[in-house]
Amino acid sequence: MTINNVNNNINKPQIDGQKLAQQQNAGQQAATANASQNTAAAASAPRTDSVSLTQSAQQLSQVQKKGSEAPVNQEKVDKLKKAIADGEYKINPEVLAQKIAKLETQIFGSGA
């Protein structure tokens, strides 16, 4: 009985193993180079952040701006502060309720 090609297959796995190791090393080097380039590009690229406000938030911002720009009668404010601090400021619940109802009508319209 004769066995053919016995010695031919002995070195072949080693050659394939060497080629595989070389390919893996080349792949790792390429991945490292790409990672370095990506890191450098990310570090040099400016960040761009953005914010968008809802319509309600924009309206609230406008109201706050108008409120801060509105004229203030500092004399009246000082008198009210003093009256509150001294316990002399009295609230009329009927007038307060009427003003709240009027404001709600202006904001939401009539409920009927």
Classify residue 51: in a domain, yes or no: no
Classify residue 47: in a domain, yes or no: no
Classify residue 102: in a domain, yes or no: yes
Classify residue 78: in a domain, yes or no: yes
**E strands present in the chain:** none
Residue with tokens 């080693």: 14
Phi/psi at 100 (nearest 5 deg)? -65, -45
pLDDT tens across 28-53, in order? 776 666 666 666 555 666 788 888 88
CA–CA separation, 75 vs 81, rounded Å? 10
The pTM is what? Answer: 0.33
- Amino acid letter for position 63: V
Classify residue 43: in a domain, yes or no: no
- Amino acid letter for position 66: K
pLDDT tens across 71-101, in order? 889 999 999 999 999 999 999 999 999 999 9
Classify residue 23: in a domain, yes or no: no
Structural domain of residue 88, as residue ranges? Answer: 73-112
Classify residue 80: in a domain, yes or no: yes
CA–CA separation, 28 vs 45, rounded Å? 25
Count of structural domains, the chain: 1
Classify residue 103: in a domain, yes or no: yes
CA–CA separation, 6 vs 8, rounded Å? 6
